[in-house]
Structure 1
Amino acid sequence: MHPPLSELLASARVVALPLAVKFRGLWTRELMLFQGPEGWTEFSPFVEYNDDEAVHWLRAAIEFGWSPLPELHRDAIMVNATVPAVGAEQVAQVLSHFDGCRTAKVKVGEPGQQLSDDVARVREVRRILGPEGRIRVDANAAWNVDEAEHAFHALAEFDLEYVEQPCETLAELAQLRERTQYMDVPIAADESIRKAEDPLAVAQAVAADVLVLKAQPLGGISTIVELSESVSLPVVLSSALESSVGIAMGLYAAAAVKELNFDCGLGTASLLAADVTAEPLVPVAGQIAVQRPVVSEELVERFAADPDTTSWWLERLERCYDLL
């Protein structure tokens, strides 16, 4: 049973958190917080997502705030650094926010940029991490199959751990995987899972080698656990540029997954210039302890969204609640 809408509205707080670096074209991250009997929880689908997508994020928020946690298999999660589509000269500054991370995920395929920009960025990450560092890139479905194959060749010298969502559709991923199999560069699927009617379809289509799972877009921790146990492919837990409250949901999801062989993309609170807690969940020595943050009323007040933005989010909450 879901809590009544009135209970969600009673504790709902909308904040607009500034980012330390531009990410997904954003300088500010808007999100909504609730406080349930299990603790604070977060509802933060990106503004452009429609209600049919956003309802999964609400289901996850309610579960994290109102349901007991599942069995946990670890008390800390190794995480990767995340490098947005910045110039190569900014890479060192970005990586300095990710203490001790041995793995970096680098955004590529940014609209308005060239493949040469991606190569320069990844080359600088490799220089800083050294030969023992692990590099994965994320194209967010920016390429068609031919463009992706060309990018694979351009980036091959950097010994990639995997390429995340190089193309949009399952058919394209499968075709690309067949074309580039000789290069031994694994393909990871993200949007193909969280935007699919059937998240298992990507595994059944033999279109990827790694599955990237995100707690909010997929509907919550219990769904993550069920998915991870339903497939034979390795999984990576990742975030969606959330506050430390949303990061905590991802950490508990990662702790509940039995097999976890990759560093997780749960260090993105390091990309925020401000958070809703005085002790953000950011990596220390490359890992983050599995915990809920202590939400600061003072910070929630300081970064409260303006009245129009707050009204928009409250209306969105009501619409999505009707879809549960």
Structure 2
Amino acid sequence: MRHPRRAGLVLAALTTAVSLVAPAQAAVPSVELQPHRLSRGADIAVPHIDDGDFVDGTKRVELPGTVAELLGPSGDAWVIATHRTNRVGEWRNRRVVRVEADGAVREVLRDVDASTLVLSEDGSRLVGPTSSNRRTTIKVWSATDGTEIAARKFGGYPEVVTADARKVLVDTTRRTAWWGVGADRVRTLTTKLTGQASIEHNLLVTYTKDPYLGGCTQLVRLSAPRMKVWKSCEDRVAAVSPDGTRMVTFDILTDGLGPGVIHLREIDGTKLATYSTNWFSGWEWESPTTLLLDVNGQRKFATVRCTLGACENATDPVPVTAP
């Protein structure tokens, strides 16, 4: 017959042994990013703008203007907004161009405020507001050749949130609504304050009220705005990963230079990593699991690549420029 006390001691020893070999739950990494302290990794792997040029791997294409912003892919091409800035900061020679797969640059639109333009999620349309006579018209153009496809007037200072080939999500001071371009019909989606949205991933950012008056962020389903995915009264959503499984968030009241702290989270809000520096001036995804962060450190600026807690410079560090 087995002795009860001896059996208990054996069980306790086994439990202790298992606890020693079982991996502890990994802590969420928190990384202070200072480019002058980071090692240099590979160059940025995705198409991007570098010193006013379009860069895709070993291909570098000179663009018109002195400032450029990548709007996104369109078929095998990339759509880019460009302009020149004069001595007093005014924008001149505003253009939208396509960089084709062979490196050819073709003009699509001219004299349009590119800061308000949105490339549709399928890359087929350019959508943005034009103003006249105290009314704003939302226009839709072909992203291939700039042909105007549709136009509709909206009140309440409308802004384009997102779009695809058939519809446009328009945010005004009173509501956020779907504009069906073909039928030219408008349907209210929500009367709450809204942020970014993704048709592909069925996500929409809303606010319970103005964050400066105590409002909270809500990430909801675009097809059913009452279906909540995540809520926070401290953070807001800055970007969603290409596969819709992760997001970047930072303080809900961030303004001015940019955030000093950024959080990487799963789409349900579970925190995966925290990054901090003097301030971040940009962020994008190199892959669904890898972030590219424009880091303005104490001494140096660089684009930094982070995969959870592993971070490295993806560009050569240069002296920080005061904004």
| Larger relative strand fraction | 2
| Larger relative helix fraction | 1
Is the pair's TM-score, using the shorter chain for normalization, greater than 0.5?
Answer: no
Q: Which structure is larger by alpha-carbon Rg, 1 or 2?
A: 2
Give the TM-score of the pair, scaled to structure 2: 0.31
Higher RCO (C-alpha under 8 Å, 6+ residues apart):
1
Give the TM-score of the pair, scaled to structure 1: 0.30
